[in-house]
Amino acid sequence: MALSFVLAPTLRPQTATGSAGAARQAPRQGRPETAEARGGRILMQVACAGAGMAKAGRVLRRRGAVLSLLPAAAWAEEGLTKIGNDQFSIELPAGFSWNEKFILAKTHLYERSVTASDPYGKWKVGLTIDEVFANSLSEVGSANVVADRIAAIERQKDGNFETDVLNAKEAPAGDIPTYLIEYRCDTSRGFNHFLVRVALQKGRLYTVTSQAPEEQWKKLEEPTRGSFESFRLAV
């Protein structure tokens, strides 16, 4: 989840100071970074992840880091029913068969992605964990601000005809603040409907994304929203 975007200044994560849960600090180069510049940079990181950008992982992830938290998935007799780990997971939409997507080049601390079986083979659900230079969504901006930035990134992608934000709101998962963002993109690769849910805790960004063909959305909307309600995060 390519495109032209500007990250200013160029960033490389460095080793965290203080407690393990503290947000990673950006190195200073030249003049000290202003609060406005830092806020814009963090917002870009979150928006890139929300828009499913692989390139964002080069900025977000800690160099050489591999997050291995098990179990990675839940299996039942009917097949794959859940993706995630002991820390972060969602139940997959019920009533469908799911196939795991093999990720060759990892660009996140943790990533799982599945596709539905035909006739819904273009429906994708995935989750990621990334490191960012912030500790909470309140440091980034409102749900509308994040949604607008995601849409701006999508509009810059090659082949994008139109991107519309349909809804953006706060949607707490228990005591964890999250944003729920809905948008659709008409592109040369297809017309897709997206649902994104993000949380940001202790320097880590947790993102769940569903991408489905717009013409199938009416049938897939209810199970997708039910799946997103199962968003679980233990930090």
Extents of the domains making up the chain? 35-63+74-233
Q: Which helix (H) or strand (E) holds 225?
A: helix 217-229
Q: Looking at residue 11, what is its pLDDT?
A: 27
The residue with tokens 């995601």 is 150
* Residues 174, 141: Cα–Cα separation, whole Å: 20
**Are 145 and 46 in contact, with CB atoms under 8 Å apart?**
no
Confidence label for 101 from pLDDT (cuts 50, 70 and 90): confident
Taking residues 84-94, report their average pLDDT.
93
Q: Which residue has the higher pLDDT, 21 or 139?
A: 139
Q: What percent of the chain has pLDDT over 70?
A: 67
Backbone angles phi, psi at 67, to 5 degrees: -95, 120
CATH class of the region 35-63+74-233:
alpha beta
